[in-house]
Amino acid sequence: MDKRGGKGRQKIEMNLIESKEARTVAFSKRKNGLGKKAKEYSNLTGEDVGFILFTQDGKPHSYGSPSIEKVIDKFHELKQNDSLQNHTDMRKTNVFEAFEDLRKEVQAFKEKALDSEMPTDKHMLENR
Amino acid sequence: MDKRGGKGRQKIEMNLIESKEARTVAFSKRKNGLGKKAKEYSNLTGEDVGFILFTQDGKPHSYGSPSIEKVIDKFHELKQNDSLQNHTDMRKTNVFEAFEDLRKEVQAFKEKALDSEMPTDKHMLENR
DNA sequence: TTCTATTCATAAAT
DNA sequence: ATTTATGAATAGAA
């Protein structure tokens, strides 16, 4: 419970963040925020949603319910024939929640196995 | 000008909104909110972003910087290059790929530790 | 990544 | 479509 000083959220212009460091932090925060909002959209409305974004290093990231490819296909399909009768399919995946559950599970297994072996295994997974 | 009453934002469960009317309102607000966040992402980071979502009537809506089609094409292109040049799991950027890796890992652990107790299912909602 | 102080988003009621 | 009262997201600092 340390009381580290913080000036609280400040208002900023919606333009490119000049500072490379601040921009990196923004990439992380904003990407997570977008993912959460997208997940909330599908949870609350029961409809599909998906998004794609690129980060500093030019890497693609995506989120989709039920999957980004399914969303893209459905998009093109409906866009092409707008009068198409839509079928109800709805199968939410809640990727982030399930993902986090699995991550914790793996973590638990690894910690348990640490006292017997040193796996040296490292995962570069940034989502939470 | 008028001071119509409101109880302020209330906390809600992130599940399907039962009320058709409330859901309709949510579609509108959430869609706008997602659009704003996406736009802010590209403005602040200078990188591309795009999203697709479907509304009650099954109609597709999209947003893209510079365009949803460009974003989709770039996504597929980079995803292809990435998998061709990197076979390791060191640079996974797609949540689904990472998810699958974790799932397999968990499965492996479980098969290896057959006599472990069965963890109970914990399914609660929340954010983050 | 974590914490705090603020700004922003938005559930309810109109 | 608007206002209000709050819940949430997040800029800046560590």
Reported as a pLDDT band with limits 50, 70 and 90, residue A94 is very low
Residue nearest to nucleotide D4 (CA to C1'): B6
For A33-90, what is each residue's pLDDT tens digit? Answer: 999 999 999 999 999 999 999 999 999 999 999 999 999 999 999 987 654 333 333 3
Q: Do the chains contact at B41 and A53, CB–CB below 8 Å? A: yes
Q: Which of A26-30, A92-96, B36-40, B81-85 has the lowest mean pLDDT?
A: A92-96
Q: Do the chains contact at B31 and A41, CB–CB below 8 Å? A: yes
The owner of tokens 């397999």 is: B104
Domains of chain A with bracketed CATH:
20-116 (3.40.1810.10)
pLDDT average, residue stretch A84-97: 37
Q: Edge to edge, what strands does the sheet with A60-65 contain?
A: A60-65, A49-54, B49-54, B60-65
Spatial distance between the Cα atoms of B53 and B32, rounded to a whole number of angstroms: 11
Q: Are strands A60-65 and B49-54 parallel, antiparallel or unpaired?
A: unpaired
Is the model's pLDDT at A24 over the cut of 60? Answer: yes
Closest nt by CA–C1' to A10 = D11
Nearest CB to B106 within list A75, A102, A127: A102
The better pLDDT of the pair A93, B47 is held by B47
pTM (predicted TM-score): 0.69
Q: Are strands B60-65 and A60-65 parallel, antiparallel or unpaired?
A: unpaired
Residue A80 has what pLDDT?
75
Residue of B nearest to A76 (CA): B60
Mutation target among B15, B39, B53, B78 for the A interface, most CBs of A within 10 A = B53
Spatial distance between the Cα atoms of A4 and B112, rounded to a whole number of angstroms: 44
Tokens of B119: 């963890």
Q: Do the chains contact at B78 and A99, CB–CB below 8 Å? A: no
Output phi, psi for B53, to 5 deg: -150, 160
Residue B110 has what pLDDT?
54
Q: Which of A120-124, B52-56, B59-63 has the lowest mean pLDDT?
A: A120-124
Contacts of A92 in chain B (CB under 8 A): none
For A104-118, what is each residue's pLDDT tens digit? Answer: 555 555 544 544 444
Residue B79 has what pLDDT?
86
Q: Do the chains contact at B48 and A53, CB–CB below 8 Å? A: yes
Among A37, A82, A67, A81, which residue's Cα sits nearest to residue B57? A82
Quick check: B5 CB within 7 A of strand C? yes
Residue A79 has what pLDDT?
86
